[in-house]
Structure 1
Amino acid sequence: MNDLILTKIAKQLNLKYTQVQATAKMYDEGATVPFMARYRKEKTGNLDEVKIREILDNQQQLEKIEKRRIDVQTTIQKQEKMTPLLKKKIEAAVTLQEIEDLYLPFKKKRRTRAMIAKEAGIEPLAKWLMTANAKDVRQYAERFINPVQDILDVQQAISGACDIIAEEISENALYRTRIRQITKQLGKIVTKPKKIEEDDQQVFKNYYDFVVIYKKIANHQILAINRAERLGIISIGIQVDEVQILDYLAVRIIKNKTPEIIKILQTAIADGYKRLIKPAIERELRTELTQRASEHAIEVFGNNVYHLLMQAPLKGKCVLGFDPAYRTGCKLAVVDETGRFESKAIIYPHKQKNSQKDDASWKKALQQFVEILEKNKVDVVAIGNGTASRESESFVAEAVKQVERTVVYAIVNEAGASVYSASKIARDEFPDFHVEERSAVSIARRLQDPLAELVKIDPQAIGVGQYQHDLPQRELGNKLDAIIETAVNQVGIDLNTASPQLLQNVSGLSSATAVNIVTYRNEVGMFTQRSELKKVPRLGPKAYEQAAGFLRIVGGKNLLDNTDIHPESYRVAKDLLAKCKIVTSEIGTNMAATNLKGVDVQAIANELGVGTATLSDIIASLIKPGRDIRSDLPPILLRSDVLKISDLETGMKLKGTVRNVIDFGAFVDIGVKQDGLVHLSQLRRGFVKNPNDVVAVGDIVDVWVLNVDEQRKRIQLTMISPEKS
């Protein structure tokens, strides 16, 4: 069965069977996706992480189908109702839905009207109506009058027979499949209001009287109407041409019948469809739509989280984290170039929201703040984008003008900072801090190294998706775990500075081994070479194999330990260096890079007994040792002056940071209180199907102001240059 599944996967993904087989085998043996993608390219046929995960996901889904197929066959066989034709149909089914349709007549169910009719002995009448072509229906039905079973007259007998026929129709897999197809092709999603929201909170106003063709409903619309329905604001239904469906059933069921039997069967058909098939298929299709929309939203959320984690770090800068607030004061925390906490303070530049500025409080706070900037030699101020952020931005912009050295600021997305600040992780690190003070430290560190800080936070609290709290939490969690694993292992982690939260996302490591690494580091001292990992308690050979290549040691005994060359390939790397006449101290120099780029990869790979893909990776690592792939990404946008919504004018060109990407566009921070929306149609010239094809979270983009609605606090932007129109 496993070979059959692997063959199906290879066909579905247009891959070689050997690629799929090798991937599945290595995964079963404990290899992680990042490890296979980076260090087993010869075995996988150079598959990337996306393809490897597709193989594993498809394998899991197909195994689920096979397990269900076997369970259904076993259950029907126990009932002694399996026929050769039914067995053939079950074995030929390719989806769970097909298997469930075939299993439906044999499935245990609550007592139905058809069951009651059968218990009353009416099943022969139902079979007679389906097969006979007689005129004496009432006369034949009189035989089934049974007062003991509450069948008191002919009409009750015929009604019972109709219940049996209706259930048989509803459980017919062929009929269900065709009706499902018709509903999908011709159906419409229709919503109606159940209650009207408050005037200032009409979030779902667009869905009060909403009609869309089933096939054309967008994923974000599905999630929106689901939420509105859950809140009791709207009702939802699927409308379809019932006449067409009833005619289809009649043609299949009614053949060579008398007018009286035709009328009875039409009643049974209508009841079978309206009472049994239609609600069931509507539930199925609603579930299918929700699953589709959820999978898409999880992909969108995962993609946004990945780009958020992979934003370029701000290295070598002393950063002050600024957590804005009104009445309780703004919490400040200074961290040095390595992220180590230096000092904290509270200032009170703002009175309560919407109150007039208190000049005395403002000036006093300004003086305090300038002193803190100068005393700590702060390079950058990281301002959280929550409550009072834009008032704080004005305050900071005024303060940095009064500092002799150059100080700039950036607005940092603080979503999830409060969740982190109240967590055990934050309490353990800063037990004597108030929650807001921990938040200020987190905001500062987010700017310095987004990846290292954001892994401490539940990704669902980061706020860069859509409807994430409505999504299936298990699937969302699995996706986010995979995204974090990918990001962490692509970047590579400094073994001597990484936190347990960062380490536990490294290939092969668990939360327990991550803690053990930090404990060993604290007790024994800094790691000087990768091989010392073997001394860490509970970190066995398999974990070492999976993790070693992703863990780096800066300034250690072996320069190769600061590359993503795996220790298993050190011999190859050293032989390569010898052939190129490069000594260790020359690694990373222009001369070494020139020599390495001139290598005949195929010839040297054959000579050294290594795959060309592995050798190419070794060469790339030796050319740029210690390389952080995030360094190639756009740096964070730093500002020194403030912009207000009232300053915006139509056509104004601005530079902004993409904060969120959703189905219908992207939200861009242009330095005012509200992020502006670049609609899908304004991302670039021509048709754009997916915003992620154009922008990603963290991108620095040029935008032009299309429209400003100060009253509603809405800004419409475009990324299409008017100068080129």
Structure 2
Amino acid sequence: MPESLTVKSVNARLAEELEVGESQVAAAVRLLDEGSTVPFIARYRKEATGSLDDGQLRTLEERLQYLRELDARRAAVLASIEEQGKLTDELRAALLAADTKSRVEDIYLPYKPKRRTKAQIAREAGLEPLADRLLADPTPVPQDVAAEFVGGEVASPEAALDGARHILTERVAEDAELVGAVREKFWSNGSLRTAPWNDEVAKSPAAQKFRDYFEFSEPLDAMPSHRVLAVMRGEKEEVLALTFDGGDDAGYHAMIAATLGVDMAAASAATKWLVGTVEWAWRTKLMISARVDARVRLRKRAEEEAVAVFARNLKDLLLAAPAGNRTTLGLDPGFRTGVKVAVVDGTGKVVDTATIYPHQPQRQWDSAKSVLAALVARHGVELIAVGNGTASRETDALAAELIADIRAAGAEAPAKAMVSEAGASVYSASAYAARELPTLDVTLRGAVSIARRLQDPLAELVKIEPKSIGVGQYQHDVTPGTLARSLDAVVEDAVNAVGVDLNTASVPLLARVSGVSETLAEAIVAYRDKTGPFRNRKALLEVPRLGAKAFEQCAGFLRIRGGDDPIDASGVHPEAYPVVRRILDRSGITLAELIGNERALRSLKPGEFADDRFGVPTVTDILAELEKPGRDPRPAFTTATFAAGVEKIADLKVGMVLEGVVTNVAAFGAFVDVGVHQDGLVHVSAMADRFVSDPHEVVRSGQVVRVKVVDVDVDRQRIGLSLRLNDTPQRDKAKRPERGTPPRKPRRDKDSGRRSTPPAGSMADALRKAGFGK
């Protein structure tokens, strides 16, 4: 371990950041280093970590990696400077005190090997004494002093002064304290201005989605993630030109002058030259680096916020209520190519498929309904899942009419629900889908996925790359690696929070279980196919390449229902089975009598069964598991009922109260599907009768909500909704400008006093034009 940070100091810093005990951090770090996963540590090592939850552990894991990378870089920098023979005690102390990677790089800048610069050439020509003399005594005329240095490679006094200027410019550009101060000042005082790439581009149809940013400015430290990513996408598409403005240059000039020791107000002969050097250093070095730093920082912050939004939405979607093991008919809507139909039984097995053509141009409505009726009767269909893509509303109407006909005939009719299609096409064309459904056409696989999503969203969505699920905010503009790491963690936490049926789980689902790799998941399924269902958890150890460590990590999250030991159906880890036996011995009843016996279990005191290995937190969890073995943390299944006769935006009327499903939650509000092919926006200001800073406080993806229509723009395909059902259109319109009104006056930033102009119209306008949402 490098000398800059010992293990103890890393742990101390992590403890301070997480506001927990250092011993908790030390235990978590040790467990992570030993190969334990976050879900395992959070669930089964509560005594060691003091019950750190998965969120705290994810943060700890990320920060631990950063601090260790910082440590390694610091060690490399120290070694490099020492090798150059330039490492002083003061420099060592500064590096040891550096707490960020950028600070280490700032300090290292003067010693970093680089190509031969103009300043180095000037030093080699012997011009550094000239620069120092002009700084020390600005009273002589610069040309006169410079004339003393003419000769050799220095052709004239002007050339000598140019070399001296390059030396001083590099000196301030490599001053760690100054660079850091300039960076922070630029960030706190700076703004981002946007304009069309050029006049010709501004007139093109493709540029119109960015037109709200043709004259736009906003403070860097206040600009929200979605606007940052929107304008950067506009720049990437060569529609927008971005300018990072640090504010008044005078303040930066003063900082540079102070570093050099230049009195910019002095009436000395060299003052003009020195002031020019200060301005040159700002314009050619520090301003450029400050702009680069601001861009990197702005994008990093925007990406972090965008990834956080995506992660929250993905978690909500993965943990959406499952309909359960009921025979389901999936409908993948379409016009010309028809509606693809698949029936899956309670285990998700495909039992029938078809293609119907109820819509234009074929319009075989009655024939299509007959086919569906026959499938429902033949297979005892309990649920109908309708994909929410093209022709979804028309297909939903077909399903509704079918259900009405069945009820009219005196039979029990299935229920229907709209299901998100996001990522279904990705799954259909995937290699896994080809292996899982080899006899089905690619188009029919989508209907199968839609049906299974209703039965168990988590089990089906894990088969799709998380970023393809489509509940993100500008996810395609985020660095892929950053997004993937965060979303993979969300999926892992969700899967392990719910638990996995060992005898029915697919390879993709098993591969998300703590300690199980994709290769190991394939081995488990292969063993299961060869030997039959697992009867107990211990049998896992017979799977090739599944060793003791993998068993420790995964066993508690794998459920075996109807096996040899009822405890195997619970979240109790096999290592804690002795505690269950101890509880049974002291209770004097059998396991069958104890499981599910709420009165008996709640009368027990966890402390009476704790020991040195299994403390009160673990025993408390064991008792909870015995009360409801294998409990599912997901909510109860419900469906939204779309209003009859409301099938397109033109059918919407201001003041309508409708039921809908939240499809996406962003920093500025939530999108809701009310059954008209176009999601409506509930702006964050219309979510509650109180201030809401984060829409996730109020709604989550997949939630069924009732909303009031407060704004309808048929031409622009935009719908304004409110969760405040007592709102009136007049109240709403008084709170925000009408569509198409002139841009609002620039607002003054409360901290800096500078003005920034937000886009005209609602926030949804700008984001939709930039390609966000449907």
- Once the two structures are superposed, the pairs formed by residues 512-591 of structure 1 within 5 Å of their partners are 512-589=519-596
Tell me which amino acid in the other structure corresponds to 1:717.
L
Tell me which amino acid in the other structure corresponds to 1:230.
K
Which residue of structure 2 aligns with residue 688 of structure 1?
Answer: 692
Q: For residues 640 and 702 of structure 1, do their structure 2 counterparts lie closer, same or farther at Cα, with a shift above 3 Å needed?
A: closer
Are positions 1:450 and 2:454 aligned together?
no
Distance (whole Å) between structure 1 residues aligned to residue 583 and residue 299 of structure 2: 54
Which residue of structure 2 aligns with residue 678 of structure 1?
Answer: 682
- 8 Å contact 1:393–1:642 — kept in the other structure? no
Secondary structure of residue in 2 paired with 1:259: coil
Which residue of structure 2 aligns with residue 202 of structure 1?
Answer: 208
Tell me which amino acid in the other structure corresponds to 2:488.
D
Secondary structure of residue in 1 paired with 2:270: helix
The C-alpha deviation readout for 1:170-225, integer Å capped at 9, x for no partner, is: 11112212222221222121111113164476222221111112221111111111
Are positions 1:344 and 2:349 aligned together?
no
Distance (whole Å) between structure 2 residues aligned to residue 17 and residue 668 of structure 1: 44
Q: For residues 275 and 161 of structure 1, do their structure 2 counterparts lie closer, same or farther at Cα, with a shift above 3 Å needed?
A: same
Are positions 1:294 and 2:297 aligned together?
no
Which residue of structure 2 aligns with residue 83 of structure 1?
Answer: 88
Which residue of structure 2 aligns with residue 698 of structure 1?
Answer: 702
Runs of 4+ aligned residues of structure 1 deviating over 3 Å after TM superposition are 197-201, 254-258, 636-642
Structure 1: any 5+ residue segments left out of the alignment?
353-357
- 8 Å contact 1:642–1:671 — kept in the other structure? no
Pairwise CA distance, 1:717? 0.8
Which residue of structure 1 aligns with residue 230 of structure 2?
Answer: 224
Tell me which amino acid in the other structure corresponds to 2:616.
T
Are positions 1:370 and 2:400 aligned together?
no
Which residue of structure 2 aligns with residue 416 of structure 1?
Answer: 423
Which residue of structure 2 aligns with residue 654 of structure 1?
Answer: 658
Picking from 467, 474, 479, the partner of 2:474 is 467
Secondary structure of residue in 2 paired with 1:337: coil
Tell me which amino acid in the other structure corresponds to 2:673.
D
- Once the two structures are superposed, the pairs formed by residues 377-526 of structure 1 within 5 Å of their partners are 377-403=380-406, 404-526=411-533
Tell me which amino acid in the other structure corresponds to 1:567.
P
Which residue of structure 1 aligns with residue 726 of structure 2?
Answer: 722
Distance (whole Å) between structure 2 residues aligned to residue 516 and residue 492 of structure 1: 19
- 8 Å contact 1:410–1:639 — kept in the other structure? no
Which residue of structure 1 aligns with residue 668 of structure 2?
Answer: 664
Distance (whole Å) between structure 2 residues aligned to residue 390 and residue 189 of structure 1: 42
Pairwise CA distance, 1:559? 0.5
Tell me which amino acid in the other structure corresponds to 2:240.
I
Structure 2: any 5+ residue segments left out of the alignment?
1-5, 732-774
Distance (whole Å) between structure 1 residues aligned to residue 699 and residue 82 of structure 2: 55
Q: For residues 393 and 180 of structure 1, do their structure 2 counterparts lie closer, same or farther at Cα, with a shift above 3 Å needed?
A: same
Secondary structure of residue in 2 paired with 1:104: helix
Which residue of structure 2 aligns with residue 615 of structure 1?
Answer: 619
- 8 Å contact 1:348–1:365 — kept in the other structure? yes
Which residue of structure 1 aligns with residue 21 of structure 2?
Answer: 16
Distance (whole Å) between structure 2 residues aligned to residue 307 and residue 153 of structure 1: 71
Which residue of structure 1 aligns with residue 755 of structure 2?
Answer: none
Distance (whole Å) between structure 2 residues aligned to residue 9 and residue 18 of structure 1: 11
Pairwise CA distance, 1:236? 1.3
Tell me which amino acid in the other structure corresponds to 1:226.
M
Identity rate, percent: 40
Secondary structure of residue in 1 paired with 2:269: helix
Which residue of structure 2 aligns with residue 317 of structure 1?
Answer: 326
Which residue of structure 1 aligns with residue 736 of structure 2?
Answer: none
Pairwise CA distance, 1:302? 1.0
Q: Which moved more, 1:248-257 or 1:487-496?
A: 248-257
Which residue of structure 2 aligns with residue 244 of structure 1?
Answer: 251
Distance (whole Å) between structure 2 residues aligned to residue 248 and residue 575 of structure 1: 71
Distance (whole Å) between structure 2 residues aligned to residue 316 and residue 402 of structure 1: 25
Distance (whole Å) between structure 2 residues aligned to residue 648 and residue 134 of structure 1: 79
Which residue of structure 2 aligns with residue 233 of structure 1?
Answer: 239
Distance (whole Å) between structure 2 residues aligned to residue 604 and residue 117 of structure 1: 78
Normalising by the residue count of structure 1, what TM-score does the alignment of the two structures yield? 0.95
Are positions 1:215 and 2:221 aligned together?
yes
Q: Which moved more, 1:207-216 or 1:646-655?
A: 646-655
Tell me which amino acid in the other structure corresponds to 1:186.
N
Pairwise CA distance, 1:586? 2.5
Distance (whole Å) between structure 2 residues aligned to residue 129 and residue 674 of structure 1: 69
Q: For residues 142 and 671 of structure 1, do their structure 2 counterparts lie closer, same or farther at Cα, with a shift above 3 Å needed?
A: same
Distance (whole Å) between structure 2 residues aligned to residue 405 and residue 574 of structure 1: 47
Q: For residues 170 and 603 of structure 1, do their structure 2 counterparts lie closer, same or farther at Cα, with a shift above 3 Å needed?
A: same
Pairwise CA distance, 1:639? 6.0
Tell me which amino acid in the other structure corresponds to 2:631.
R
Distance (whole Å) between structure 1 residues aligned to residue 134 and residue 442 of structure 2: 75
Q: For residues 578 and 284 of structure 1, do their structure 2 counterparts lie closer, same or farther at Cα, with a shift above 3 Å needed?
A: same
Pairwise CA distance, 1:587? 4.0
What CA RMSD, in Å, does the superposition of the two structures yield over aligned residues? Answer: 2.0
The C-alpha deviation readout for 1:422-466, integer Å capped at 9, x for no partner, is: 111000111222111111111110110001100000111110011
Q: For residues 203 and 211 of structure 1, do their structure 2 counterparts lie closer, same or farther at Cα, with a shift above 3 Å needed?
A: same
Pairwise CA distance, 1:633? 4.4
The C-alpha deviation readout for 1:13-42, integer Å capped at 9, x for no partner, is: 111111001111111111111111111111
Q: Which moved more, 1:515-524 or 1:361-370?
A: 361-370
Pairwise CA distance, 1:579? 2.5
Tell me which amino acid in the other structure corresponds to 1:375.
R
Tell me which amino acid in the other structure corresponds to 1:219.
S
Which residue of structure 2 aligns with residue 355 of structure 1?
Answer: none
Q: For residues 641 and 215 of structure 1, do their structure 2 counterparts lie closer, same or farther at Cα, with a shift above 3 Å needed?
A: same
> Aligned residues, how many?
713
Distance (whole Å) between structure 2 residues aligned to residue 376 and residue 640 of structure 1: 29
- 8 Å contact 2:514–2:553 — kept in the other structure? yes
Picking from 189, 193, 198, the partner of 1:186 is 189
Distance (whole Å) between structure 1 residues aligned to residue 136 and residue 709 of structure 2: 73
Q: For residues 610 and 106 of structure 1, do their structure 2 counterparts lie closer, same or farther at Cα, with a shift above 3 Å needed?
A: closer
Are positions 1:285 and 2:285 aligned together?
no
Q: For residues 406 and 634 of structure 1, do their structure 2 counterparts lie closer, same or farther at Cα, with a shift above 3 Å needed?
A: closer
Normalising by the residue count of structure 2, what TM-score does the alignment of the two structures yield? 0.89
